[in-house]
Copies of this chain bind each other. A is one copy, B any other.
């Protein structure tokens, strides 16, 4: 879809120009391009870097969509489309806020740099090196990111930490080709079974602890006070059950759901495949098996450390008669924890309370926004993660949506935030 993402980048660039932003341009990265624009006329005032991404997750399974994923449809006050929440709808709210300020006030009260990338969903392959080679262009005092969600239409949320990610692809082979299961069944290795054996050794089925050697060595100990606060987060058992259709929560022994989500690392199989998977039966022993396995990591684990530990563990437990084993690291992201004592966070709190009618809850996010860690490392800035999605928006799922009311609350919050920074 390179042609489609390029078209989308052009579209964003045009919208930047229409909003009145300056210096609007498409910057090459070696992969999907980055769209950039700025407005730098508020001398003596801080510079806010706004971040978003125009790329989206694959819309499959297509047959579960009620309306076409790339033809937005509003039903019952909700806009349905792939990317409606993650992330087109959300960064667009900031763009509309800036357009409003520029066209109404004829000025912006702060300096703004707006960067929208196109590789977030594939792990931001080229983003880090792009930032590293554009430090001056991107220099700012704080970053504003809406790639998360509020708790409800009246309860805002600020994520003060994010999990990191190590996304791997494991491939095994033990035969030259698929062979007949009648002739060779009972005499040769079956890599589908071997892959299952490996996966079954990654997590304890009872305690749900990840069994990779040394996995928990560097996990940050959460203070009693923070634990208490997290445990009262609205990420409740009931919410998770309703949202996912699970009949019971399954997670790491000894921790409550919001703690497991934000402060504990975990491991999931995101996909696996071997042999014949179409309709009917094919009597083969497969020659290859593949699994996509990802690990969510928390401070002070690092992606390099966990990628190495995972790879070593898998190589240790795979039987020697498995001829071929490959562990690819498809993408990584570092975990991060923000310093919420800065005045930027105080401004965000005030603004969100005004728009939503309630003080924002501070919470840890289970997801990963790797750019936050990169910005901290390379530009030394924190990211304010104020989300205007809702928890049931169906990110990465069929029928992703964004509530129209939340979109307008996003525009309002963003407008007030920029104004408050200029006071």
Contacts and interface: CB of A to CB of B under 8 A. Distances in A.
Given A292-B281, A398-B177, A187 B272 contact: no
A69 to B, nearest CB: 14
Nearest to A264: B186
A200 B252 CA distance: 21
A281 B273 contact: no
A51 B349 CA distance: 80
Interface in A152-169: 163, 165, 167, 169
A215 to B, nearest CB: 13
B176 A244 contact: yes
Contacts of A266: 185-186
A199 B193 contact: yes
Contact of A179 (B175, B187, B244): B244
B249 A365 contact: no
A269 B274 contact: yes
A419 to B, nearest CB: 32
Interface in A247-291: 247-252, 257, 260-261, 264-266, 268-278, 280-287, 289-291
Contacts of A281: 122-123, 167, 169, 270, 292, 294, 330-331
Contact of A182 (B163, B187, B276): B163
A240 interface: yes
B260 A270 contact: no
A26 B20 CA distance: 75
B193 A203 contact: yes
A245 interface: yes
A189 B294 contact: no
A178 interface: yes
A15 interface: no
B269 A184 contact: no
Interface residues of A, number: 99
How many copies of the shown chain assemble into the complex?
A: 2
A46 interface: no
Residue picked from A121, A199, A208, most chain B C-beta under 10 Å: A199
A179 B239 CA distance: 13
Given A283-B396, A292-B276, A246 B197 contact: no
A175 B268 contact: no
A92 B284 CA distance: 25
A330 B280 contact: yes
Interface string A118-133: 0001110000000000
A192 B272 contact: yes
Contacts of A163: 182
A368 interface: yes
A72 interface: no
A366 B184 contact: yes
Interface string A182-217: 111111111011011111111101001000000000
Nearest to A179: B244
A189 B58 contact: no
Contacts of A232: none
A218 interface: no
Nearest to A182: B367
B283 A187 contact: no
A157 to B, nearest CB: 13
A189 B250 contact: yes
A180 interface: yes
A243 B64 CA distance: 43
Nearest to A245: B176
A185 B366 contact: yes
A397 interface: yes
22 contacts: A121-B282, A169-B281, A177-B397, A180-B367, A180-B397, A182-B296, A184-B240, A185-B296, A188-B250, A189-B246, A189-B248, A192-B199, A192-B269, A193-B203, A196-B272, A247-B321, A269-B274, A270-B285, A272-B274, A282-B292, A282-B396, A283-B396
Given A122-B280, A167-B283, A193-B203, 8 more contacts: A121-B282, A175-B246, A182-B365, A186-B366, A188-B244, A268-B285, A271-B274, A276-B292
